[in-house]
Structure formats: structure tokens, C-alpha cells
Chain A
């Protein structure tokens, strides 16, 4: 079974601060996706990374896929209260099944 470990589990910061959340596994993934989930809603896809070492930017969010395609990170610059939510990473492995991590719950205080 492929497992994705996300850290930290909880993160509470002030508006304007920077942060990084991590997604790690001992397994290799053909691709990895990041989702954000707000309370009472389903996850919303933010990005898909496919190539080892790939870096993608989405406004203030920077996503990186590890060279070995076993890990990924999400960096947010100058966090805003609207960034508050549960950030989930999900990897697609050999079975093509999408496996989710437990998520990082981010709270950005004004």
C-alpha cells in the first residue's frame, strides 16, 4: 500500500508570513496532485506535477515535485486569510489509483 505522509498536520500563522508544507512517501509516484479543501466542501484541484524536479507556480503558491518523484512541497508566500483550508496531496502510483494524504490544516490569522 502506498502511503503519503503530510507535515505538519496543523499550521497556524499570521497574515503575511511564508510557509511550507510537505508530502513524503517511500513510494514512487507517476504524478502528484495538490488539492485545497474548505469546510463543508469537496477538495479542489490546485496543481498536478508529473516530472521529477518539476516546479509549478500558481500566484503565491509554489509546488515542487522531488527529483525521485517520492515527495513534494507546497510553499505559500505572504499568506492571506483566504488561504485557510485543508491542503491535501494525492499521488498516482503503479495501479493508477489516486491515494490521498491526511492533509495539513492551515489557518491564516488576520
Chain B
């Protein structure tokens, strides 16, 4: 089966500019996640969607970050305006289910978008 697709792979922008990332999850996966991975750290959850609804966005800096998942399939993550500390790899992942007592499905990650803010 096709994996999780992300684009672009790399992006370099100046601080205060805007940037958008795109993710296409595995077909049939209801749950989609955006993670931020800063160099030397593990991934940190930014936002979780169940179909096209937001389940958890408690760690999303909402003053500058926004995300949407129209029609419960593709998703975009936007940063506006970007700061230097936003430099990181942005990973999209999908899973059949969010968990909740059902079998503990693993996440399938995309290759990520490496963002550099200068």
C-alpha cells in the first residue's frame, strides 16, 4: 500500500514569512497527526484529527499555527508568521484508529518536511 505522502521535503523561509505543509495519509486511515521534531528530540504532537474533526490541539501554538483536514482525507499545516524556533522536521502520521481500548495500532509516518527559518 502507498505510504503517507508529505510535501515539500525541504523548505527554507525567512522569519515572519508564511509556510504550508501538505499531507496525504494512507487510504482508509481515519486518524491523522501532525508532529514537530526538533533536532535531537523526539516527535511532539501538534494536532490530531479523527476524520475531519480535531481531537487534540492542546500543544498547537494557535497564535501562529493552523491546520485543517477537509473531507477527512488530506491535511495542511500552516505557520504564519514563522519564527526561528519553528525550524524543525514536521511529520505527518496516520493510523486506523486513535486507540481508546481498541488494538494499539502503530502510526505510519511520512518522510517529513524539514523547515529551516532564517
Chain A residues, Cβ within 8 Å of B44: 100
B108 surroundings in chain A (CB, below 8 A): 45
B111 within 8 A of A: yes
- Decide: A92 and B111 in contact? CB cutoff 8 A: no
Q: How far is the CB of B64 from chain A (nearest CB, A)?
A: 22
Which of chain A's residues have a CB closer than 8 A to the CB of B98? 96
A101 vs B37: C-alpha distance in the bound complex, in angstroms? 11
Given A42-B110, A42-B111, A96-B100, 7 other A-B contacts at CB below 8 A? A40-B112, A41-B111, A42-B93, A88-B42, A90-B42, A97-B56, A103-B42
Query: Bound state CA distance, A44 and B93, in angstroms?
Result: 10
How many A-B contacts if CB must be within 8 Å? Answer: 53
**Which residues between 87 and 113 of chain B lie within 8 Å of chain A, taking CB atoms?**
91, 93, 98-100, 104, 106-112
Set of chain B residues within 8 Å of A96, measured between Cβ atoms: 98-100
The answer to whether B104 and A100 have CB atoms under 8 Å apart is no
B106 near A33: Cβ-Cβ < 8 Å: yes
Per the bound structure, the CA–CA distance linking A35 and B43 in Å amounts to 11
Within the complex, what minimum Cβ distance (angstroms) separates B89 from chain A? 8
Measured CB to CB, the closest approach of chain B to A88, in angstroms, equals 5
Interface size on A, residues (CB 8 A): 24
Given contacts A40-B111, A42-B111, whether A98 and B42 have CB atoms under 8 Å apart is no
Q: Would A43 and B104 count as touching, CB distance under 8 A?
A: no
Query: How long is the Cα–Cα vector from A4 to B99 in the complex, in angstroms?
Result: 19
Q: Which A1-24 residues have C-beta < 8 A from chain B?
A: 4
**Given A41-B112, A100-B43, do A33 and B104 touch, yes or no (CB 8 Å)?**
yes
- Is residue A31 within 8 Å, beta carbon to beta carbon, of the partner chain? yes
Check B109–A42 contact: CB distance below 8 A. yes
